Every structure is written in structure tokens, then in C-alpha cells.
Homo-oligomer: A and B are copies of this chain.
């Protein structure tokens, strides 16, 4: 363990800071009307703030997280911070480059003011008196912390799950502060199913006689049974059915003796019991109630009418990341965010991590996430440094032929964009506004490295994230031959752009020479007639 702490990729020993932030007289007024007379925030930092104070990355943690995101609190500390794999020299959030901050959220129980904190008005814990909080309030408190630290701009704000909701809120509330926003395995509002699980989870606490309406801090007992029960249920939803099957199956404990009547001998029962019990040693039931309630309440569509309206003032470049096996915050919800940002005309990239783990993948299965985040932050990703697949096509007469079709400053969508070399050159030389699309994550990562927006998607499923008539030119280069539904794809191309260009290999001429162009006009009738003809420039 000592070795691990001396590991050059660890941030090493760290300390949680606690700071009482200055508030206006009357205290902090919360979004739902409540008031906090004082405010303490617990936070940790990793890396070094540069002189320009512009290398700051803010991490927003999820339901059960805290300020201790990386490193160790002592030499005897057995466990690193909750996102240690992501934070450190050379990691996703590279502390050689960035000054990384993570603070415990408002309403939490790890140092930031929450229901278990002392109300200065009478010196007793808030308990049932703690006011209702929102995701917005959490973000306001983070902003107050940054103000106090003299930080005016964020290079990036990043978070998964509840943390992703805070990322959305940051980019909406403080559009000029956040340069890049990374929203992982999150949603603009919880699904009905997720709401339902939260109802049952909170119910477990509310029905625990030790909860005492929230005022249990002076008692010998706290609602640990209810809190453990809520955590056990939550835990099921954080994991995919596949990973549960792989990890536990119907395996039984070696001793085969259940711990009591109606207890089973299955490993999954002892695992859940262990997780539930462990959670009660570090978490407060009232914090669980307040934070899940704030998540349930969060609803950008309800607040702004339409999701793209919520994003109207966003100036951040967005990276939206889904996890394939996540059923609590399913990929459709991340896609919804990305689609709305595109409709709002914002800069957004989207990718889906193929990870079997479920929702928790962003915490535990992070190699792909690390590469994606590094690329989006403009850092080298060693794994992605392979040869350009199709470099040859983007030079000489091939490029000239395409460039001749694409007007300067056009909005260009490149389907099957590979590593983005074509878009990169068009951007440099034709000053286009570029969006790439590819199904392959390593390609997507290379496009991100170029600073070009990219959507990871299967074009055979239709360009479902792309709004109607949003592009001047849509390119399908070197891809038509692998498309399974060419008719659908061609129709979709003409839905999203005024002009489509199809480039494909001439198999009769193995030396990769040229080709054919497709040009179409958006139909005004809703039917999709289009004409094929060769553009004169190509031959």
C-alpha cells in the first residue's frame, strides 16, 4: 500500500479542507425558499493552480461520493479516493496539467453543510429542520467555493450520475465560466423507473422507527436498517444484470449457512448485506433522503419547457458519455442531452462506453473513459496513437474534389469520419464548422483529440441525434460500402443537410481513385426524391 501511495501515478497523501464560506447577512437563500445561516464546504485539490488560474477542473460527485476523490488520507489508509483511477499524473484528469477540485455537495454528510451539521442558531444538528435543497443549490455552493478560492473560470467541469446533473446545471447557470462540460451516465431528469426505486429506497428509511422524523442525532439509535436497505436496493440498480450474473450467479457462501430465517445462502445476499451495512458507517440517512429527493425533483424539461431551451445560453463545449449497460441512467437519456444540445446549436460530442458493469462503470471500468476524457481535454492518449486509417484519401486530388464541393464556413457533417483527418483539413482550409460521426470509439477519441466535435453512433440506425436541415453538407466517405441500409442512410443525409456527398472506393481501381458524388436537395413535400449525378469536379 505504501508502494501504491508512492506510485508516480497517485496524487499521494491528501487532506480534506473545510472552509466556512462568507455569506450575505440572512445567510444562503436556497432555490426552494429555505435558508442556511452558515455554510461550510469540504473540498480537496490535486495538482497545482497555474498563474493564470485557468487550469481548473471541477469534479461533481454522485450520491454516495464525497470530497475525497483521489489519493490517501494517511500512510495507513487502505483505500484511495473514490475516483483515484481517474485523477493523477498522466491519468484522465491529469494533475500534471490541471488543478483538480472536488467538494462534498450541499446536503451531504462528509464535511459540507448538511442535515447532520450543527445549526448555529441553537447548536443542535439540523435534523428535520434542514431545508429542501436542489441540484442548483449544490452548484451555487460550488461556485461560492470557487469564488473564495479566487477561481473565475473552469477549464472543465465533470461528473457522473448525480454529478452529471450538476455538470448540466453548471453549464446552464454559469455559461461563461465553464469552458468544457463532461456529463457521464446522467440524465436531464430521472426516468420513471429510477423515481420508483428512489421512492422505495427512501421509504425504507422513513419507515425505520429509528428515523424519528429526522431527529435521531441525539438518540442512541439511527435508522441504519432503513439506510442499509435503501443502499442495497440502490446497489442492484447500479449494476447490470449481466455483471450480477457473472460475479455472483447463484453461487452460495462456502459455509452454506444463511444468517437467519428467510436468509438465503446466496453470495448475492451476503454481498448486498455487506454493502448495505458498510454504507451506514459512512453515510447519513437524512443526507440520503435530501439528496435523492433533489435528484428526483431535477427536471430540465419541466423547468425550461424544452430541453434545447434549457441549453440555449450554454457556451461550454460538451462531452456526453453514456454507458452501454447502464439501465438506471440508460444511454437514451444521454442521447437526449446530446440531441438537445445539437438542436440548440451547441458544441457537443457524444460517445457510449461499451462496459458490462452497469451504471457504476464510470467509477470502476474507466480505461476507455480515461482516453475519452484526455482527448476531450486536449491531452495525448497513447492508446489512440495509431496510423490514420484513410490518410491517403485526404490529400491530393481526392481532398481537392471534396473541398470544391464544400463551401467555405459551411456546416459539415462527416459520416463514418474515421480519425477526423478530412474534417480537420476542411476546418483548417475551408474554415468549416465540423461534426464527425463514427461507430468506433478509438476513432471518436482521435477526432476529439483534434478538437473536433464527434458523435459516436451507428449510421445504419439513422442519424437520430442530428436535427433536420442542420448542415450545409453531409459527407459519406469511404463508408457506403459498409452501410447495411444505404437507402435509409441516404434519406437521412438529405434530411439533415442541403447537400450530400458520397465517396466510395472504386473497386475496379484498387489504387483508391475516384468515385461519385451525390447531390440532393431537401424535399419540400416530405417525400424524399433525390437525384444522382456526378459532380463535375470529381472526374
- Asked if A236 meets B266 with Cβ closer than 8 Å, knowing A128-B261, A241-B327, A250-B299, the reply is no
Pair B296/A214 contact, Cβ less than 8 Å? no
- Is A193 at the interface (CB under 8 A from chain B)? yes
Which residues of A226-243 are within 8 A (CB) of B?
226, 229, 232-233, 236, 241
Chain B residues whose C-beta falls within 8 Å of the C-beta of A236 in the assembled complex? 193, 196-197, 200
Pair B244/A196 contact, Cβ less than 8 Å? yes
The distance in angstroms between the C-alpha atoms of A272 and B190, with both chains bound, is 17
- Asked if A199 meets B241 with Cβ closer than 8 Å, knowing A229-B207, A249-B192, the reply is no
- Name the residue of chain B whose CB is nearest to the CB of A258: B293
Pair A269/B229 contact, Cβ less than 8 Å? no
- Is A203 at the interface (CB under 8 A from chain B)? yes
Pair A269/B199 contact, Cβ less than 8 Å? yes
Please give the distance in Å from A81's CB to the nearest CB on chain B: 28
Pair B206/A209 contact, Cβ less than 8 Å? no
User: Chain A contact residues (Cβ within 8 angstroms of B): what range?
Assistant: 35 or more
Pair A232/B200 contact, Cβ less than 8 Å? yes
Within 8 Å by CB of A296, from B193, B196, B209, B264, lies B264
- Asked if A268 meets B200 with Cβ closer than 8 Å, knowing A250-B189, A262-B293, the reply is no
Chain B residues whose C-beta falls within 8 Å of the C-beta of A249 in the assembled complex? 192
Which residues of A199-230 are within 8 A (CB) of B?
199-200, 202-204, 206-209, 213-214, 225-226, 229
Pair B192/A248 contact, Cβ less than 8 Å? yes
Please give the distance in Å from A316's CB to the nearest CB on chain B: 26
- Name the residue of chain B whose CB is nearest to the CB of A244: B192
Pair B207/A266 contact, Cβ less than 8 Å? no
Pair B199/A232 contact, Cβ less than 8 Å? yes
Chain B residues whose C-beta falls within 8 Å of the C-beta of A177 in the assembled complex? none
Which residues of A146-205 are within 8 A (CB) of B?
189-193, 195-197, 199-200, 202-204
- Is A15 at the interface (CB under 8 A from chain B)? no
- Is A302 at the interface (CB under 8 A from chain B)? yes
- Per-residue contact bits, chain A 393-436, to B (CB 8 Å; 1 contact, 0 not): 00000000000000000000000000000000000000000000
Chain B residues whose C-beta falls within 8 Å of the C-beta of A296 in the assembled complex? 264, 266
Chain B residues whose C-beta falls within 8 Å of the C-beta of A191 in the assembled complex? 241, 244-245
Pair A207/B208 contact, Cβ less than 8 Å? yes
- Is A289 at the interface (CB under 8 A from chain B)? yes
Chain B residues whose C-beta falls within 8 Å of the C-beta of A245 in the assembled complex? 191-193
Among A195, A200, A250, A266, chain B packs the most CB atoms within 10 A around the CB of A200
- Asked if A214 meets B293 with Cβ closer than 8 Å, knowing A192-B245, A269-B199, the reply is no
- Beyond known contacts A193-B236, A196-B232, A213-B261: 12 more, CB 8 A cutoff: A128-B261, A189-B250, A192-B245, A192-B248, A192-B250, A192-B268, A193-B244, A199-B264, A199-B269, A199-B272, A200-B272, A202-B262
